[in-house]
Amino acid sequence: NAGVTQTPKFQVLKTGQSMTLQCAQDMNHNSMYWYRQDPGMGLRLIYYSASEGTTDKGEVPNGYNVSRLNKREFSLRLESAAPSQTSVYFCASSERGREDYGYTFGSGTRLTVV
Amino acid sequence: AQRVTQPEKLLSVFKGAPVELKCNYSYSGSPELFWYVQYSRQRLQLLLRHISRESIKGFTADLNKGETSFHLKKPFAQEEDSAMYYCALSAPAGGTSYGKLTFGQGTILTVHP
């Protein structure tokens, strides 16, 4: 049971390059999320998808786009990477209403923009 | 606006000592509160939820609505408790933003032998 799988685990980009972070979950969760983790800032929500076919901005959406490809997959795209986007990115999924409700996180993608 | 504050970036204790990680929140209403933990080289995982009133790995957390706090406590810290701890808040079930978590800044706990 893989849970939430993120790829790649590490990436180095040059300023202006684009890339897509992939996330897939196998728990049949409706909701999926992208967070970034920065020292002293905690985790900040970039975008989320409450259910298949819907996406909404979170706290820090600028410079990012997302696609909820299907119920399993939720990708995050950086169209033109900037050094300020150097961070660790976490994907998570959850299912509202469950007694054991809580986020299941991926292992993270460490992105460096030079 | 909802906010979670963890006033301590770093917390060091010795093995066997009590530990308390502080969490204060700002929310209009009755939120759901959580503690998440990230051990070295591992992914973030749920430690406990205030609704469950459970004790996980010896940790407990009591929701104090008057002080808007949800401090995490353990009477006798162990070296394996060393990790990053995040307090998080969600709107209650039925709310429009239910499901989105707002995280605090995190506290790095180090338990010395």
DSSP B4-26: EE---SEEEEETTS-EEE--EEE
pLDDT of residue B98: 62
Tally of CA atoms within 13 A in the half-sphere of A68 that contains its CB: 21
Q: B103–A97: do the CB atoms touch at under 8 Å?
A: no
Instruction: Return all residues near B94 (Cβ < 8 A) that are at least 6 apart.
Output: none
CA-based angle B44:A105:B110, to the nearest 5? 5
Say yes or no: B49 contacts chain A, CB-CB below 8 A.
yes
What b/e sequence results for B39-61 when a residue is b if at least 16 CB atoms lie within 10 Å of its CB, and e otherwise?
Answer: eeeebbebbbbbeeeeeeeebeb
Question: In chain A, which among 50-69 make CB contacts under 8 A with chain B?
Answer: 50, 58
pLDDT value at B30 more than 60: yes
DSSP string, A11-58: EEE-TT--EEEEEEE-S--SEEEEEEEETTTEEEEEEEESSTT--EE-
Q: Is there a contact between A23 and A32 (Cβ–Cβ < 8 Å)?
A: yes
Q: Average per-residue pLDDT in chain A?
A: 92
| Percent of chain B surpassing pLDDT 70 | 95
Q: A97–B49: do the CB atoms touch at under 8 Å?
A: no
pLDDT of residue A21: 97
How many angstroms separate the CA atoms of A65 and A57, rounded?
A: 9
Q: Fill in the DSSP letter of residue B53.
A: T
How many angstroms separate the CA atoms of A38 and A78, rounded?
A: 17
Question: In chain A, which among 75-104 make CB contacts under 8 A with chain B?
Answer: 90, 92, 94, 96-97, 101-103
Residue B15 to chain A, least CA–CA distance (Å): 26
pLDDT of residue A107: 94
Say yes or no: A19 contacts chain B, CB-CB below 8 A.
no
| Chain B residues close to A90, C-beta within 8 Å | 43-44
Residue B41 to chain A, least CA–CA distance (Å): 9
| Percent of chain B surpassing pLDDT 90 | 65
| Chain A residues close to B102, C-beta within 8 Å | 45
| Chain B residues close to A50, C-beta within 8 Å | 99
pLDDT (mean) for A44-71: 94
pLDDT of residue A40: 83
pLDDT value at B102 more than 60: yes
Q: Average per-residue pLDDT in chain B?
A: 90
pLDDT of residue B62: 85
